[in-house]
Amino acid sequence: MYKHFIFITLLFFSFCIKSPADLDPPYFVLQYLQNVDSTENQENNSQCPAPAGPFNPGALFDTGQTLCWTGGGFAQDCTLGLPGSDGSFNNIPNARNFVGPTQHCKFTSDYTIFDPLHGLTWKACAQGQTGSGCAGGVAVPMNWADANGGLPGSCAELNTLNGGEGYAGRTNWRLPTVRELASIVHYTNNPHIENAFFPSRTFTGRSY
């Protein structure tokens, strides 16, 4: 799963959020993901109003898992009674919810995806791809250091686009935290990405 996170990180860039609230007791296992280094959102919203909250950065999405397995690793109908199986719980603790890809009202070549539960905005396409479905252009491969630095295609470069107003009018694009990446993982899909809303799926096989 760590490999999934690393690769998806290089494709998507998120907007800053406030530190998450405490998790509910059943989810203490994920507490180590809560240390988010975040700042206030910075957006030029004079022409394009930003989505209004309240948001809950500490909330957990349903994993998207709808399948169940026996102790021997065989697929089994979840309705047959498998206590505690992830696939038996639908939209718990919170339903998955994304909006987009949405075209920016001023910078019409820029597309984003919004997560109204956590208040996160994601860049819709891998860097180098264009359009609402990411069908144009070619994805620009980069490693973690390049994506986190000031090289072409990096988050820092996104913040300088559009005459200094930033990609989609935002000027604090950064790499997402592990916890933020976990919110776009969909365990039933293959590859494990929320592909109903994120059109950029540039990787194949198991290279990620």
The pTM score is: 0.71
* pLDDT computed for residue 201 by the predictor: 66
Question: Mind listing the pLDDT tens digit of every residue in the chain (208 residues)?
Answer: 444 444 444 344 333 333 344 434 434 334 433 444 333 345 555 568 778 878 888 888 888 888 888 778 888 888 776 677 888 888 888 888 899 899 999 999 999 999 999 999 999 998 889 999 999 999 888 888 888 878 888 899 999 999 999 999 999 999 999 889 888 888 888 888 888 888 876 654 444 4
- Between CA 155 and CA 75 the distance in angstroms is 41
The β-bridge partners of 114 are: 99, 121
For position 152, what pLDDT does the model report?
Answer: 83
2 phi and psi, to 5 degrees? -60, -40
DSSP string, 84-120: T-GGG-SS-SS----EEEEE-SSSTT-EEEEETTTTE
